[in-house]
Amino acid sequence: MADNSQLTEAIRVCGHRGGVIAMHRAFTYYQRGPISLLTAFTLFLFFSSTWIALLPHVCHFWTRLLALGLRFLPLQARLEVTSHHFGFLRLEMPALRMEPVLPGIVLWSVNCCATLLLFAATFLLSKRLLPVAYLGRAILAVHSTSLLYFLLWPSRFPHSPDSYMEALLTSGIGIITAAPLLFALTYYIFDFGLLRKAFLTSLTMAHLSMFLPVQVLLQAMVLQKSVLFMPLLYIIFGMPLEVLLIIGFYSWGMTWSLPSTVAPRSRPQW
């Protein structure tokens, strides 16, 4: 019976070519102990409280940055500062205001032809670029729904660039605020060291804080042409882009070498 159990265990960890399946590094260096949990909670509390304390100053910085963008970019918009209350927190948030422009027949026709041509071009890509083709078709499908909507109900579009810009900035603040919690649940539980965890979180939040006003300015430049592009900007280049940035920083942090003092765990016995 003992020999059979040992043979079963040996077969369980072997691949189809006979090699041993190594444990993934995420399980090898995962340490769930009181110290790790305390460190994760402390870092989460520190970065969350620091971000909330600095947020009014960050909003002021965004206001100056947007004003600078309006000065040098070919953007027809005006800048306003609106007051928002989130419990005990009072924020003076910048907001770009512009008139909504419905797509004309020329703009709609050009976009329709370009969408059809690009969709057909995805079938000419090699098999190695199949993921790129699928991604391109998904993006074109989103824009196609916008073209169809403005063909049938152009005057019923319920959103304006003003409300969209304000929602984009508010959702961006929410994403940055949630970043410490996301890292606490998915990154702080690994033994990368306190300084590395703090550095990755600081870098991610600082990058998002600089990226958000640039994202607002770029999307405003597109929306001043027509609200036809708003669904594409919202679904593809809005919050999903910020989430992908967090995933990118997390993936980069997971590739860092672990301290030599951390001993890898042996394969668990199920």
Please check the confidence at residue 7 and state whether its pLDDT lies above 70: no
Q: What's 190's DSSP letter?
A: B
b/e code 202-212 from CB counts within 10 Å (16+ = b): eebbeebbeeb
* Gap between the Cα atoms of 65 and 213, Å rounded: 7
Distance CA 181, CA 247 (A): 13
| Arithmetic mean of pLDDT, 99-103 | 91
Record the pTM: 0.82
264 pLDDT exceeds 80?
no
Position 155 confidence tier, pLDDT thresholds 50, 70, 90: confident
The DSSP element (H or E) to which 10 belongs, if any, is: helix 2-12
* H or E stretch covering 114: helix 105-121
Per-residue model confidence as pLDDT tens digits over 226-257: 999 999 999 999 999 999 999 999 999 988 87
pLDDT tens-place string over residues 63-91: 999 999 999 999 999 999 988 887 778 88
Confidence of residue 108 (pLDDT cuts 50, 70, 90): very high
27 pLDDT exceeds 70?
Answer: no
Please give the Cα distance from 115 to 243 (Å, whole number): 26
Q: What is the SS3 assignment for 81?
A: strand
Helices (H), 153-262: 161-186, 194-223, 230-235, 239-254
Residue 33 burial (10 A CB sphere; 0-12, 13-18, 19+): exposed
| Residue 91, beta-bridge partner list | 84
Residue 97, C-beta contacts closer than 8 angstroms, at least 6 positions apart = 77, 78, 79, 80, 162
d(CA 213, CA 156): 29
Q: Are strands 78-86 and 89-97 parallel, antiparallel or unpaired?
A: antiparallel
pLDDT, residue 270, reads: 37
Under the banding of pLDDT at 50, 70 and 90, the label for residue 268 is: very low
Instruction: Give the pLDDT confidence score for residue 256 in this predicted structure.
Output: 84
pLDDT at 208: 97
Residue 25 pLDDT: 55
**pLDDT at position 4 over 80:** no
